[in-house]
Structure 1
């Protein structure tokens, strides 16, 4: 799901003008929040072989993990201040099927014509993201304000 950010160039210019100390504080708060979210996602991910749990990763700069089937991005488009959390990789291409479940359907391939009963959704990715999003946002705001006051007071 893509979102459109109006005034992105102006925002990026303001982000680039931030002092290094403020950028560092924002990055630290963002890293803590991303760690908190991924830790919770890994705790509640269903475990059969552990591959799904191990496929939940963070990438800085907003780069998309190849073959990831679920992702959430935090940041304003600045590569230093953007983190993407994703689930799935070249070995685990079924993360979205676990998260959302499947509907009953007729199989193809080796078992063509047989009825698949569907699978129940086992949400593990978006519930922690939604639950912790506000806390992470507040942490980043507090860190920004604190660093800005510190820089302004010098």
Structure 2
């Protein structure tokens, strides 16, 4: 007589596919969203253009890479395997926070957080859609197109 597993074998296989297939597809959406956000931040930073160094210092750090030293927010650190970090500033541009928030003698010229507030809903939607699609595909055991397109 055959032993029944009540579907546990297929369930465990689906969970294994979720662990393996979903994160890389979501990271693609994270990278696309981070690049779009960084481009918006660079456009917003144009108002503070003096040498262009601040604009050039806005970078996207990919998974496994290290953020530039003295970058804002948070300084130098390693991005996790499912993490993309956007920073402004580096060892030559250590004043990004002063431009963003202003000083006693200089008016604030925000570029970092306003760009995030402007694009957050769209970027989060892209990431959520990629996660849902990857989860559905992994659960069903199918592989569909995973190209991330600009909305």
TM-score by length of 2: 0.71
In the alignment, is the contact (CA less than 8 A) between 2:54 and 2:89 conserved in 1?
A: yes
Q: Give the alignment of 1:7-22 within 5 angstroms.
A: 18-22=18-22
In the alignment, is the contact (CA less than 8 A) between 1:70 and 1:95 conserved in 2?
A: no
Structure 2 residue runs without a partner (length 5+): 1-15, 142-151
Q: CA deviation at 1:39?
A: 0.3
- Structure with the greater alpha carbon radius of gyration: 2
2:36 is equivalent to residue 49 of structure 1? no
In the alignment, is the contact (CA less than 8 A) between 1:101 and 1:121 conserved in 2?
A: yes
Query: 3-state DSSP class of the match of 1:85?
Result: strand
Aligned twin of 1:124: 111
Query: 3-state DSSP class of the match of 1:133?
Result: helix
Paired with 2:18 and 2:138, the residues of 1 have a C-alpha distance of 10
More strand by share: 1
> Cα RMSD between the aligned structures?
2.3
2:57 is equivalent to residue 70 of structure 1? no
TM-score by length of 1: 0.69
Q: Which runs of 4+ in 1 moved over 2 A?
A: 16-21, 60-65
Q: CA deviation at 1:17?
A: 7.7
Higher relative contact order, chain-length normalized (CA < 8 Å, sep 6+): 2
Structure 1 residue runs without a partner (length 5+): 1-15, 72-77, 104-117
Q: Give the alignment of 1:30-109 within 5 angstroms.
A: 30-45=30-45, 46-61=48-63, 63-70=66-73, 79-103=80-104
Q: Deviations over 1:19-57 (max 9, x none)?
A: 433112101110111011000011121211110000001
